[in-house]
Structure 1
Amino acid sequence: MTAPTRTERGLHQEQRAQVAALHGELVRYALVTWTAGNVSERVPGEDLFVIKGSGVSYDGLSWEGITVCDLDGTVVDGVRRPSSDTAAHAYVYRHLPAVNGVVHTHSPYATAWSARGEAIPCVLTAMADEFGGPIPVGPFALIGDDSIGQGIVATLAGQRSPAVLMRNHGVFTIGDSARSAVKAAVMCEDVARTVHLARQLGEPLPIAQADIDSLYERYQNVYGQR
């Protein structure tokens, strides 16, 4: 990843504005603190993605706080240095062509599970619906290169979960759009909290795999407006 070009041509301004607005959902659902966390989205039809600038405040975040990068993480347009997680996002986009959105948070309950290096077991119908099983734990990796991205891709291989808990770090979620990745981050924190509370009362009851499969199929293909 290279330094910003410090040029602002306003490339993909509308998409950058939409991604900027989605960061408000991270604040709304208390998934981030101060300037931590980020949302990115692939630019349709181009080998580019847009991502929040490093250390940029959520207050009044506009399209100018979102930087355009290529799939190597090199800045293409924007005056903000991109997120320190840019290399991880770029790795995911390079290796998972169906992924169009990536979100990173340090949401408290889910990150507490990551600090224990423990997957969140699938003991709620809402988990079966959204994640199709447990939320897995990825390996510990330092920030700065694509090591985190490698861990995300390797951990989610063969999984239905759009979320991974990177050990001692936090949550990464993927989706077919930035909005769907944000939804997965919101749901991840919600179930992490509920399962944690359940464990204070005793051992949560497991859901049979056949029922998990049935719930996942219904939610993904029948639930909601089509």
Structure 2
Amino acid sequence: MIHQETRETVCRLHAELVRYNLVAWTAGNVSERVPGEDLFVIKPSGVSYDELTPEAMVVCDLQGELVEGDYAPSSDTAAHAYVYRHMPEVNGVVHTHSTYASAWAARGEAIPCVLTAMADEFGGEIPVGPFALIGGDDIGKGIVETLTGHRSPALLMQNHGVFTIGGSAKAAVKAAVMCEDVARTVHVARQLGTPIPIEQHHIDHLYDRYQNVYGQRSHL
């Protein structure tokens, strides 16, 4: 079976969505671009997370057409494909319906940058993309239009849920985990009063430090 390494990576990362309580039942998906090819690997549609194996993953081309696999690809495949076609720097895409972030999406409201962790990871607010129906290019178009030129690797698609992008699928999963974490904290802060926005120059400083200085500089 070809593209085994990418299949194994994508399968393993789906377990992280379960681990961090970002998905329910069969909802949600992770995909990753196949290095050096116009292909990506994504979760099959409607298959339980407990039943996912590297062999169950499906390979699609950048038009979203099935190339290899025994199952039909995720219902979000067209959206992932659109992102890969129009954002060549993106190598991983994740979708979840995580509770707190999806609650912000249900209100059509961006998550304001009121935490240093948000400045670090997202470089500002987590924006809202437009309402779009599942199954075609509309979600992908909303992702690309909203995130092009934006620091945030995450957005909230109105009335839907979270989509994240990254230089790898692992980076996109991290963004999804962090998106839910800050969505929950800012929601709680709203219950207590009015969160205090971080000034833009402080956001810029925090973002630059986290992206370029923090940690051991190993690539996700």
- With the shorter chain as reference, the TM-score category is over 0.9
Deviation at 1:77, TM superposition (A): 0.5
Give 2:173's aligned amino acid: V
**Correspondence 1:31 to 2:56:** no
Give me the whole-angstrom Cα distance separating, in 2, the residues matched to 1:33 and 1:135: 22
Give me the whole-angstrom Cα distance separating, in 1, the residues matched to 2:51 and 2:188: 35
User: For residues 59-117 of structure 1, what are the alpha-carbon distances to aligned partners after superposition, in whole Å with 9 as ceiling and x for unaligned?
Assistant: 04111221000000011100110000000000000000000000000000000000000
Deviation at 1:120, TM superposition (A): 0.1
User: For residues 161-195 of structure 1, what are the alpha-carbon distances to aligned partners after superposition, in whole Å with 9 as ceiling and x for unaligned?
Assistant: 00010000000000000000000000000000000
Give me the whole-angstrom Cα distance separating, in 1, the residues matched to 2:51 and 2:116: 37
**Correspondence 1:92 to 2:72:** no
Q: Residue 207 of structure 1: which of 198, 206, 220 is its match?
A: 198
Q: Residue 173 of structure 1: which of 160, 164, 167 is its match?
A: 164
The residue number in structure 2 matching 1:75 is 66
User: For residues 117-141 of structure 1, what are the alpha-carbon distances to aligned partners after superposition, in whole Å with 9 as ceiling and x for unaligned?
Assistant: 0000000000000000000000000
Deviation at 1:158, TM superposition (A): 1.5
**Correspondence 1:65 to 2:56:** yes
Q: Which secondary structure does the structure 2 equivalent of 1:188 belong to?
A: helix
Give 1:70's aligned amino acid: D
The residue number in structure 2 matching 1:130 is 121
- Sequence identity, in percent? 77
Q: Which secondary structure does the structure 2 equivalent of 1:59 belong to?
A: helix
The residue number in structure 2 matching 1:7 is none
* Matched length: 217
Would you say the 8 A contact 1:123–1:195 is kept in 2?
yes
Give 2:185's aligned amino acid: T
Aligned pairs for 1:4-19 (under 5 A) are 10-19=1-10
Give me the whole-angstrom Cα distance separating, in 2, the residues matched to 1:82 and 1:60: 15
* Uncovered stretches (5+) of structure 2, i.e. residues with no partner: none
Q: CA RMSD in A?
A: 0.6
Give 1:200's aligned amino acid: Q
Deviation at 1:14, TM superposition (A): 2.1
Give me the whole-angstrom Cα distance separating, in 1, the residues matched to 2:125 and 2:208: 16
Give 1:140's aligned amino acid: F
Give me the whole-angstrom Cα distance separating, in 1, the residues matched to 2:64 and 2:208: 35
**Correspondence 1:117 to 2:108:** yes
Give me the whole-angstrom Cα distance separating, in 1, the residues matched to 2:156 and 2:5: 31
Give me the whole-angstrom Cα distance separating, in 1, the residues matched to 2:87 and 2:146: 12
Give me the whole-angstrom Cα distance separating, in 1, the residues matched to 2:129 and 2:35: 28
Give me the whole-angstrom Cα distance separating, in 1, the residues matched to 2:60 and 2:82: 12
Calculate the TM-score normalised by the size of structure 1: 0.95
Give me the whole-angstrom Cα distance separating, in 1, the residues matched to 2:207 and 2:127: 17
Calculate the TM-score normalised by the size of structure 2: 0.98
Larger deviation: 60-69 or 203-212?
60-69
